[in-house]
Amino acid sequence: MSEPLGLDADKTNSQKHAEGGLGETIKVVIQALAIALVVRTLLFQPFNIPSGSMIPTLLIGDFLFVSKYSYGYSRYSIPFSPDVFSGRILASKPKRGDVVVFKLPRDTSSDYIKRVIGLPGDKIQMIEGRLHINGHVVPREVIAKVRTEDRFGRLTEVPTYKETLPGGVSHTIIEIEGDTGFNDNTGVFEVPADHYFMMGDNRDNSTDSRVPPEQGGVGFVPSQNLVGRAEMIFFSVKDGAQAWEFWRWPWTVRFSRLFQPVR
């Protein structure tokens, strides 16, 4: 007498259905991860701002998207890229005034974000707090005073200025120590070929190209160290707040900064 097969057949069908569902889920997850990796590698990469060197343009607690394609690709802009080529692929040159993420030349494991001030061949100098490019003082006008911390952590009122670079790009800078800061008087920096001179908008609280690498600074930045151009702030929390603490967002999120372009 033959045994009934109905229950076994149902079990087999259920197992196949479960296995098929699990396989489909794994497939979707792998595809999603692959798409995210491509987007992060070739298109946009998120960064957060841990320091105040770009105040008032960027604040501590800002999260922004950086376009990876803006200047082409180098071994420093592609994660886990082997050291098999130098220079850039599909290269495009930064413009003066761009806000750029780059690998620190003396320590390429560190990401820095600054503004492009000097292009290859430019001569840059600070004289009594005023930026000079190729022998000409860069115009600036007073905007207002803002409250911020000085390098000792004390709250103070400092002036902000609208600075207009050659080519017409304007941005806002602050001078915590007026025009008498440590880097407000320098020699002339002549930018080498295929390099860039970077400065923070928080002029008296920025370690940038005004400080040579041997003194813990940035120095000139090679073009192959460029990671991408800062495009948009997509999230922002107050200094000291944690982005993952979503239950505090009503009090900690800077809603006025969300989806603002970086200028």
Give residue 194's pLDDT: 95
Residue 209's contacts (CB-CB under 8 Å, 6 or more residues apart) are 114, 117, 118, 124, 189, 196, 197, 198, 199, 217, 218, 219, 220, 221
Q: What is the pLDDT along the chain (263 residues), one digit of tens a residue?
A: 444 444 455 555 555 555 566 777 787 777 777 666 666 666 789 999 999 999 999 999 999 999 999 998 888 877 666 666 667 787 789 999 999 999 999 999 899 999 999 999 999 999 999 999 999 999 999 998 888 777 677 788 888 999 999 999 999 999 888 777 888 999 999 999 999 999 999 999 899 999 999 999 999 999 999 999 999 999 999 988 999 999 999 999 999 999 999 99
Indicate the residue type of 210: R
Where are the chain's structural domains?
A: 42-261
Integer Cα distance of 217 and 104 in angstroms: 9
In whole angstroms, how far apart are CA 211 and each of 27, 182, 189?
Answer: 50, 10, 11
Domain 42-261 has CATH 2.70.70.10: no
pTM, entire model: 0.82
Q: Which of 68, 70, 77, 114 is catalytic?
A: 114
Integer Rg of the chain from CA: 25
Give residue 1's pLDDT: 46
Integer Cα distance of 221 and 196 in angstroms: 5
Give residue 163's pLDDT: 97
What does the pLDDT look like over 240-249, one tens digit per residue? Answer: 899 999 999 9
According to DSSP, the residues that pair with 45 across neighbouring strands are: 66
Integer Cα distance of 243 and 131 in angstroms: 36
What's the CA dihedral at 145, 112, 236, 144 to 10 degrees?
A: 10
Is 53 known to be catalytic?
yes
Residue 5's contacts (CB-CB under 8 Å, 6 or more residues apart) are none
